Amino acid sequence: MSVLERFSLAGRVAVVTGASSGIGARVAVDLAGAGATLVLAARRPDRLERVAEEIRALGGDCAAVVADVSVREDCERVAAEAAQRFGAIDVLVNNAGVASAVPALRETEEEFRAVVDLNLVGTFFMSQACASRMPRGSSIVNIASALALTTAGLPQAAYSSSKAGVLGLTRDLAQQWTGRRGIRVNAIAPGSFRTEMTGTYDESYESYLVEHRVLAGRLGEAHELSGAVLFLASDAAAYVTGVVLPVDGGLLVT
């Protein structure tokens, strides 16, 4: 098998959560470009269908399932539909998430729990639902955050805590499932990317990051994360499990 063939996802079925916009949508389209059949999951049906149409227009096969990953039954439904329609699940990209920036003394219990439920509990629910339908050689890629490993000037207790939890979950699922089930589990820690989520931040904050924290001198673009996801999802990373791969333009160095 050539080097390029090891990066191919031809014949694989990939589930991507949070696939209706931003990084999730870009990752889904690019995995389809690498040959994967896609199952897209997100809460916004209209935007989800637009991504599905883009993949089909490129010649890919995909299904779109409206789901909230913080609801266990929704996760089970996504996994069941993927397996029923396409036979198995070879790749799971746990991308669904929400950011928040609220001072800790003003953050309510409901606000804190909502972030943790979606970012951390949802990652666990989806992993649990898919694992029993994943053959040996499969891969789970969890999208965490560089803020699981550092701070970046905003008050983000709920978000940082939830993403740090994703890293702990990644390590533990890797130790449980890699040897026993043949499922590799890894995480990516993105820095600041230009997405719908970060578009709500003040321009002065973006300038601070670019000038003082990000060695690359700019925010990342969604397509720049796809290569890392493809690597961890493919046979090119067959001996990689339990790791955290930063894709942050040098944020963690500063």
Q: What is the mean pLDDT of residues 244-250?
A: 98
In which element (H, E) is residue 102 found? none
Q: Is the pLDDT of residue 12 over 80?
A: yes
| 205 or 220, which is more confident | 220
**Options 159, 201, 208, 239, the catalytic residue:** 159
Number of structural domains the chain divides into:
1
Instruction: Assign 167 a pLDDT band (cuts: 50, 70, 90).
Output: very high
| Section 6-32 average pLDDT | 97
Model confidence at 199, pLDDT cuts 50, 70, 90, reads low
Rounded distance between C-alpha atoms, residue 222 and residue 224, angstroms = 5
Task: Give residue 182's domain range.
Answer: 3-242
Mean pLDDT of all residues in 180-206? 86
Please give the backbone phi and psi of residue 220, each rounded to the nearest 5 degrees, phi first.
-80, 160
Q: What local confidence, expressed as pLDDT, does residue 1 receive?
A: 85
* 249 inside domain: no
- 192-218 mean pLDDT: 84
Domain contains 254 = no
32-57 CB burial, b ≥16 within 10 A, e <16: bebebbbbbbbbeeebbeebbeebee
> Does residue 246 have a pLDDT over 80?
yes
Is residue 208 annotated as part of the catalytic site, yes or no?
A: no
- 151 pLDDT higher than 80: yes
**Using one digit for the tens of pLDDT, what is the confidence trace for 50-74?**
999 999 999 999 999 999 999 999 9
pLDDT of 198 reads: 61
- The residue ranking higher by pLDDT, 199 or 129, is 129
% of the chain with per-residue pLDDT over 70: 98
Residue 252 lies in a domain: no
- Does a structural domain hold residue 46? yes
Q: What is the CATH number of the domain that holds 43?
A: 3.40.50.720
Q: What is the pTM of this model?
A: 0.97
Residue 203: pLDDT band (50, 70, 90) is confident
What are 225-237's pLDDT values in tens digits?
A: 999 999 999 999 9
Coil/strand/helix, residue 89: coil
Residue 149 and residue 252 in contact, taking contact as beta carbons nearer than 8 Å: yes
Say if 247 falls within a structural domain. no
Residue 202 reports pLDDT greater than 70: yes
C-alpha R_g of the chain: 17
In this prediction, residue 200 carries a pLDDT of: 65
